[in-house]
Amino acid sequence: MAEAQGPGPRLPDPTAMQAAWQDIAERSQRLLKEFAEKQAKEGATPPGDVLNLTGTFLDFTTKLLADPQKVVAAQMELWQQYMRLWQATADRLAGKPAEPVIDAPKDKRFADPAWRDEAIFDHIKQAYLLTSRWLTGLTKDVEGLSDRERKKVDFHIRQFVDAMAPTNFVATNPQVLRATLESGGENLVKGLRNVLEDLERGKGRLAIRQTDMNAFQVGRNVATAPGKVVFQNEMMQLIQYSPTTAEVYERPLLIVPPWINKFYILDLKPENSFIRWAVGQGYTVFVISWVNPDEKLAGKSFEDYMLEGPLAALDAIEKAIGTRHVTAIGYCIGGTLMAATLAWMAAKHDDRIAACTFFTAQVDFTEAGELTVFIDEDQIRNIEALIKERGYMDGAEMATTFNMLRANDLIWSFVVNNYLLGKDPFPFDLLYWNSDATRLPAAMHSFYLRNMYQKNLLVQPGGITLAGEPIDLRKVTIPCYIQAGKEDHIAPLKSVYKMTQVMAGPVRFMLAGSGHIAGVINPPRAKKYNHWLNETPKNPPTFEEWMAGATEHKGSWWHDWDKWLSALSGPKVPARDPAKGGVPPIEDAPGSYVKLRIID
């Protein structure tokens, strides 16, 4: 009796496939027409090489070829590795055991068993890993490259290597091949539809969806902490959150988030909301919700963010609750702004901020990490030319820059999932927030890139003048709590630590596990990500020295911060209802400014 055969590959429904291709053709035609009309209307095209990669790689290639003996030796080494791989593959195909020439067991891209169990896919994987290791190692022995040039070349070689991974192509991804056979190619048709949907959403630019954009709504299931908008100007809304305790500390807490992203990373959902947790500890919490600027605010400067941000908020808080002195938090670029604001206030003998916390914030940019690969004179000039006419840095372009720092996780994994496998992205509140891009005013963005990242003037006494005052961070004498993330790729921990050597007052430095987001948003109930503290009275000159004397503590650092801040927040007073304060509420939290989205 013949053995029953399992089901073979499913054939596509011709009627459904025809309807799908007709829909794809119509949408493609419409997109092409809209793109052509947009180009005709705008007339000029943006610079073709904004990052100045042509000049950088031409210089790198010239210096690489200046020593042909090294090039030949590197090629011979790669060729020998290929020969070993060919032999190992031949042994496997012949049924003989063979150890891998190279492996990456923790690389999530190659988690499918076929990359290990099937000789052909194992060969493809190892060939890719050998080639990528060879390419990424090319710059190490090239003489004449500056550190900045070497980092720039390294970064963009890695972008190329990540893009060329076999997982990103139908023919060399076993998971995609199986899905194609099992669905009769419907995954690729659905993937093409997803491509067109993302092009339509991005108005001609590929706006890759990282999550289900319809699963979340600001004010409905993210950013839901109750409160009132008690003040607003053209740069921000100030939110006062409703108390959940009968008594609160006398000094309120002002949070200054980054304007590169939206504030509700601190209030994604109730169980991990830093804002709700801080309110629950007895703090009267105020948060700045920055506007999403357009061309009307093109001339707004870093100085304007100070004057119309934290300084305006201090005035509004005093009117709202009658208290002059506050404590503050600055997150990322919001922390950079707060450091500059504290120095300005010190110059003006303004003592309204009694203590300040810094989340992953930098003031000394000499070790600012991979973002520096985007900062040289040619690139800044190109960026300024690109944003001059429209008046702002597009939020989607900024988001792409940050995504490139973790391209495999934040770009290519979604290319495979959405376009090759034809799946919809999973609903994830953090990635919804990550996709909620914000614009940056042209004047502010240019000032920040040049004076902080390029010239590092903020840390130099009198290097920057704001509102008529040359500022000096060394005049900041209030107590400071500085948090850094152990795996932060945006504000590297060594860069953040440098602030401990600048501020003149007592500084408590704390190293949190994880990175730029999870290192901050780590509620105690989650029992994740440990933290490190060093109780030495004076922070040593280098992070390495600090770490050598540090002690690891289990779980979240939030309780340590609360213990520090509560001692600086004054006595307890009756809780303050934002609906019954000294100013009439404008609207309910989270306000209207945060709801303006660039891409829906």
Catalytic center residues? 332
Q: 466 pairs with which residues across the strands?
A: 469
* Identity of residue 300: K
Residue 242 structure tokens = 């409703």
- b/e 150-179 (16+ beta carbons within 10 angstroms → b): ebbbbbbbbeebbeebbbbeeebbbbbeeb
* CA distance to 102, 157, 503, per residue, from 77 (Å): 14, 19, 51
Residue 132 CB contacts under 8 Å (≥ 6 apart), including other chains: 161, 164, 165
Cα–Cα distance measured from residue 310 to residue 315, given in angstroms and rounded to the nearest whole number: 9
Decide: 363 and 337 in contact? Cβ < 8 Å.
no
- b/e 209-242 (16+ beta carbons within 10 angstroms → b): bbbebeebebeeebbbbebbbbbbeebbbbbbbb
Residue 415 CB contacts under 8 Å (≥ 6 apart), including other chains: 168, 208
E-strand stretches of 250-284: 253-256
Cα–Cα distance measured from residue 251 to residue 570, given in angstroms and rounded to the nearest whole number: 6
Decide: 47 and 384 in contact? Cβ < 8 Å.
no
Residue 151 structure tokens = 């980092």
Q: Where are the alpha helices (DSSP H) in 224-368?
A: 274-280, 302-308, 310-321, 333-347
Residue 33 structure tokens = 């027409």
